[in-house]
Structure 1
Amino acid sequence: MPPVAQYLWDWFWDIRRSQPAGFNGPTPITNSELMAWVSRTGHVVRPEEAAILIDMDGEFVGAGHPTISPA
């Protein structure tokens, strides 16, 4: 990811940190969980940023990562 978009990785890992693991690996971030995170942090998230975060999470969940710590 380009350095200009590093904040998206930071946001993603901050949101993922509060996600419980399911029986089959990580559970997807829901819209309500994203809204709760926005409310808690005060970040202004544009629709395209929210879509990117949800897409990133889809890739993460689909890859079946056993842990949620950033590399």
Structure 2
Amino acid sequence: MTPAGQRRLTRLMVKAVRDSVRAGKAPNLPEAGRVLWGAFMALHRTRSYGGLGPNPITYQEIEAWCRLARMPLEPHHVEILTEMDREWLGGGKADPAPRSGITPALFDAVFG
């Protein structure tokens, strides 16, 4: 895949995640992105959650899924998946807010 093609597919897939989060329904996917959408949804279903909410999909989880599903992904596919995940974690907003709002005073209040 050419760098320009990868950038275009990344934009389309991030938009698909944004539209899916906002509308709450299946997005209109480009044909080249259907396998990536399936991979993203499979990984998303196994997402872990912590005290601050959902955790990002890790490279280890992607690698394990590739082995189990016998679905080889190229590095540019993994990059697109992580961009899709970043968009999902941001709630479909154009500029996601910072995830950590912990201040020293808040830390002291919680942990003494």
Residue number in structure 1 paired with 2:91: 63
Tell me how many residue pairs correspond in the alignment. Answer: 64
Cα deviations by residue, 1:28-56 (Å, 9 ceiling, x for unpaired) = 01111111111111101011001000110
* TM-score, with structure 2 as normaliser: 0.52
C-alpha distance in structure 2 between counterparts of 1:13 and 1:23, whole Å: 22
Unaligned runs of 5+ in 1: 65-71
User: What are the residue-to-residue correspondences of 1:1-71 with 2, within 5 Å?
Assistant: 1-63=29-91
Return the index of the structure with the highest Cα Rg: 2
**1:26, 1:61 within 8 Å by CA — same for their partners in 2?**
yes
**1:15, 1:34 within 8 Å by CA — same for their partners in 2?**
yes
Unaligned runs of 5+ in 2: 1-28, 93-112
The runs of at least 4 aligned residues of structure 1 exceeding 6 Å deviation read none
Residue aligned with 2:90, SS: helix
How far off its partner does 1:24 sit?
A: 2.7
**1:25, 1:61 within 8 Å by CA — same for their partners in 2?**
no
C-alpha distance in structure 2 between counterparts of 1:48 and 1:30, whole Å: 15
